[in-house]
Amino acid sequence: MSLQFAYWAPNVSGGLVISNIPQKTEWSFEANSRYARIAEQVGFDYVLLQTRFFASYGAENQLEAATLASALAATTKKINIITAVLPGLWHPGVFAKIISTIDHISSGRVSVNVVSGWFKGEFNGYGEPWLDHDERYRRSEEFINVLRELWKNETTTFKGDFYRLNDAPLKPKPLQPPKVFQGGNSKAAREMAGRVSDVYFMNGNSIENLKNQIEDVKANANGRDIQFGVNGFVIVRETEEKAKQVLKEIVLQADKEAVEGFESQVQFAGKASPQGEGMWANSSFENLVQYNDGFRTGLIGTPEQVANQIIELKKIGVDIILTGFLHYEEEIKTFGETIIPLVRQKEQELKEKAGAL
């Protein structure tokens, strides 16, 4: 199967790096609508909308993900819109209805990314309980199960530890069952992905570590079909030296206070798992300047180098490359026009080589 390509929507201010480096990236609806139209024209398959309610890591302004997804559904034609959601701040019945509505607006182009939560301040601020690490994943699993029951059944009765539904209807149903995405590095996250998710998103990491995660989730899936996505921050320049210089400048101009604030939040959440191995538990300051460890994936260099690294990710079982950029408008276009065709060419070469064996 051919690789698919996604990008993070910059629906929060500050772009995709916690740095004071100048960025040609805007967070407004008008900008995000423009980026999405460019992306679908140049070959991207998905756009992922971030869920954020309170300012964190310098992101002072946030557009709510599901609301923006609905607007993008009406202004695009092909791209699949993944809206992130925080169980605990949404009821799954309400959210199932919202997603079904967006599905109809988009003619079947909506998916869900269930985020179990790392930002305690949002829950405290809204007066909602902050659960222990593994309990957050148990709640997320129930949330997913309720979504699917509502999308499938005429009426749904559900008696769980977190959610109760009594003969709840949902009409109209989605045109097709929306895909459910999920992230997380911990044991609880990997086990949950194996049981209920369609796509498991991974933070940026080395090829070896990503391969280990994929193998572990597949073992937990017990034969269930599951896809894998990985986050990677993309810096493509004419030479490797120029690309690495951009990375150096991003880190040198990092907003130190914001990065350290983000670090204290996420590493507390990551190390809160019983095994102490959640997301960001072992991320360095440099890794956290791109807040999903995107530098670690190695999509930094010439077009040929970046395309080759993407093929190496495909070889270990990655299905979706989730990208972020410094200058969104021009770099989404460049990636689609330069990197995606190169990857397609290399995929064909792989296929021909396999057929010749």
pLDDT band at 232 (very low <50, low <70, confident <90, very high): very high
CA 120 to chain centre: 20
In Å, what is the CA distance from 84 to each residue of 93, 99, 111?
15, 11, 9
Tokens 């090829």 correspond to 207
Token pair 């044991």 is at which residue?
Answer: 187
Task: Of 99, 90, 84, give the one whose Cα is nearest residue 126.
Answer: 90
State yes or no: pLDDT of 171 exceeds 90: yes
Residue 270 has pLDDT above 80, yes or no: no
- Do residues 325 and 335 touch, judged by C-beta distance below 8 A? yes
Tell me what pLDDT residue 279 has. 55
Residues facing 180 on adjacent strands: 112
Residue 234 has pLDDT above 90, yes or no: yes
Residue 194 has pLDDT above 90, yes or no: yes
Joined together, the tokens standing for residue 257 give: 């206070």
Q: How confident is the model at residue 277 (pLDDT cuts 50, 70, 90)?
A: low
Give the residue carrying structure tokens 């949404």.
90
pLDDT band at 58 (very low <50, low <70, confident <90, very high): confident
Q: Residue 62's beta-bridge partner residues? A: 12
In contact, 32 and 68? CB cutoff 8 Å? yes
Q: What is the average pLDDT value for the chain, to the nearest integer?
A: 93
Question: CA angle, corner 203, sides to 200 and 208, nearest 5?
Answer: 90
What is the per-residue DSSP string for 287-332? HHHSTT-GGGG--EE-HHHHHHHHHHHHHTT--EEEEE-SSHHHHH
Token pair belonging to 263: 């670090």
pLDDT at 341 over 90: yes
Q: What is the mean pLDDT of residues 167-174?
A: 98
Q: Of the ranges 230-239, 249-258, 263-272, which one carries the lowest mean pLDDT score?
A: 263-272
Q: Are 112 and 179 in contact (CB under 8 A)?
A: yes
Confidence at residue 143, expressed as pLDDT on a 0 to 100 scale: 98
* pLDDT at res. 274: 58
Question: Residue 260's pLDDT is what?
Answer: 79
Distance CA 80, CA 132 (A): 33
| pLDDT given at position 157 | 98
Q: Give pLDDT tens digits for 73-110.
A: 999 999 999 999 999 999 999 999 999 999 999 999 99
144-164 per-position pLDDT tens digit: 999 999 999 999 999 999 999
Q: Would you state the pLDDT for residue 57? A: 74
Q: What is the pTM of this model?
A: 0.93
Structure letter (DSSP) for residue 168: E
Measuring CA to CA, which residue among 298, 306, 322, 341 is closest to residue 208? Answer: 298
**92 touches 147 (CB < 8 A):** yes
Residues 45-56 have a mean pLDDT of 93
Instruction: Tell me if 266 sits within 8 A of 180, measured CB to CB.
Output: no
Q: What is the model's pLDDT at position 55?
A: 86
Q: What pLDDT is recorded for position 355?
A: 78
| Cα Dmax for the chain | 62
Strands 227-233 and 4-9: unpaired
Q: How far apart are the C-alpha atoms of 296 and 232, rounded to whole Å? A: 7
Catalogue all structural domains in the chain, each as residue range(s) with its CATH number.
4-356 (3.20.20.30)
Q: What is the mean pLDDT of residues 14-38?
A: 96
User: In this predicted structure, what is the pLDDT of residue 59?
Assistant: 85
pLDDT band, residue 282 (cuts 50/70/90): low
Is residue 216 helix, strand or coil? helix
The torsion angles phi and psi of 164, rounded to 5 degrees, stand at: -130, 130
- DSSP H helices, the chain, are 29-41, 65-75, 92-106, 120-125, 133-152, 187-196, 207-221, 240-252, 256-271, 285-289, 303-315, 328-334, 340-356
* Cβ contact 138:125 at 8 Å: no
